[in-house]
Homo-oligomer: A and B are copies of this chain.
Amino acid sequence: MEPFDLHIIGCGSANPTGRHRPACQVLSTRGKNFMIDCGEGSQTRFARMGLSMKRVGHIFISHAHADHCLGLPGLVCTMSLLGRTAQLHIHGPQELEPFMQTALATFCPNLEFQVTFHTVDTRQHQLIFEDRSLEVWSLPLRHRVPCCGYLFREKPGQRHIRRDMIDMYEIPVSQINNIKAGMDWTLPDGTLVPNERLTTPPTPIRSYAYCSDTAPQPSLPAIIEGVDLLFHEATFDQDNEFRARQTFHSTTLEAAQVARDARVGRLCIGHYSSRMDDEQKMLREAQSIFPNTVLAAEGLTLNI
């Protein structure tokens, strides 16, 4: 099966600490590295994790806060130094575009590749990108500035041919794609062979939802229902709920409630405030509501 791996590049929040780096993740699948947020210094750790910059074709930015975007100009400059020619797509809220345009005009005026900015309407849950095998949807979040998460979902594949059955019923090659698509087969004597005898089910699709930064958002669980992995910010532990309210962030329990309500497979929490120094306590809090929770950490890879 193709890998569908989430790499955590940084999982801190705005105020830098020695413990964590600002937000950045990479979802690797089918030879492509989809980057999600890009805080200052992300390119360094990205390279240190052995990830290929060439394979980054699309970057998805949740919102125009410094700790989620300031690594972008340096990343593009480095791509240029490495001789990139392939187009780069940046998806994000419109607030980000003037910054990126000025940064590139100042620091990379002679880029050999095109950087295309795609404005994401953070208030809408809509399809913002697709290729042959993957869809990316925006997830409206509630923060101090326009902000959205991103849902990455594989497209359903076709059913798998049972070679033995195809041979037994002498089905011609020309019909294979129809059979994969679900067609039944009629024998010369008129007997119908149902598709289920000729094929096995398609590979289950996998999905990942990234939700940072956000205050509790009632509409969220319904639109991420059943994802295999949810990253949900838990900037604060439960004792600091009042800070979460002040800053439009979530607590451990709130993140876990989303995971429970959305019946996700696994929850990863992160975006830790610099005030939080006991992450095990945060983990225990989240697990009290949603046991299958893990802590984000720089360098962590989660196979989905």
Contact = CB atoms under 8 A, between A and B. Distances in A.
Contact of A41 (B41, B65, B69, B95): B41
Interface stretch (A97-105, A186-194, A205-213, A280-288): A97-105
Contact of A18 (B48, B70, B73, B95): B48
Contacts of A40: 40-41, 43, 70-71, 74
A69 B108 CA distance: 13
A300 interface: no
Contact of A64 (B41, B70, B107): B107
A165 interface: no
A14 interface: yes
Interface in A266-280: none
Contacts of A43: 16, 40
Contacts of A41: 40-41, 44
A138 to B, nearest CB: 20
A15 B280 CA distance: 38
A81 B78 CA distance: 28
A14 B66 CA distance: 22
Contacts of A107: 64-66, 69-70, 99
Contacts of A15: 78, 81-82
Contacts of A106: 64, 95-96, 98-99
A47 interface: yes
Interface in A112-160: none
Contacts of A67: 77
9 contacts: A15-B81, A16-B74, A66-B77, A67-B77, A69-B107, A95-B106, A96-B106, A99-B102, A102-B102
